Amino acid sequence: MIALIGLVVGALVGLFLEPTVPAVLQPYLPIAVVAALDALFGGLRALLDGVFDDRVFVISFLSNVVVAALIVFLGDQLGVGTQLSTAVVVVLGIRIFSNAAAIRRHLLKA
């Protein structure tokens, strides 16, 4: 419940503050958001599997975000930033889908 409240509170803060994204972070923020979504779904799945651990969740969340941003940064330096960010999004998207499927099997038995 606190997680949901946190999500809503964060969204509201973002809505009201309307901060501008720093130019340095602009290419990495969308990737980071997708990586965090992946971590969130992974955590939900672990919760339903009964193996949820808050330490693991925090570490996976942060490392997901950092690694995704790092990959994109590296791609930018190599000149393949666009392609690499596409690749990251695809991989994270696949993971989100598989996690969502596992969650669905848990909750709906289907």
Partner 1 sequence: MPPDHLQRQAEPRSAWRTLARSFAPSGSRGQVITGLLCALLGFALVVQVQANRSEGLSSLRQDELVRILDEVTRRAEELQTQVTDLRAQRTELVTGSDTERAAREAAAARAEVQGILAGELPAVGPGVELIIREPDQPIPAPVLYNVLEELRNAGAEAIQVGDQRLTASSYFIDTPDGVQVDGVLLSPPYRWLAIGDPDTVTTALSIPGGALAAVRNAGGSTDLSSRDEVQVTAVRVVERPRYATPAPAVEGG
* CB nearer to partner 1: pick between 14 and 93: 14
Token output for 53? 């651990």
- For residue 41, give every residue at least 6 positions away whose Cβ sits within 8 Å of its Cβ, in sequence order, or none: 95, 96, 99, 100, 103
Among the listed residues 67, 81, 87, 91, the single contact to partner 1 using CB under 8 A? 81
Phi-psi region of 79 (alpha: psi -120 to 50; beta: other; left: phi over 0): left
Task: By CB under 8 A, name the binding residues for partner 1.
Answer: 1-11, 13-15, 18-21, 23, 26-27, 29-30, 32-33, 36-37, 39-40, 43, 47-48, 50-54, 57-58, 61, 76, 79, 81-82, 106-107, 109
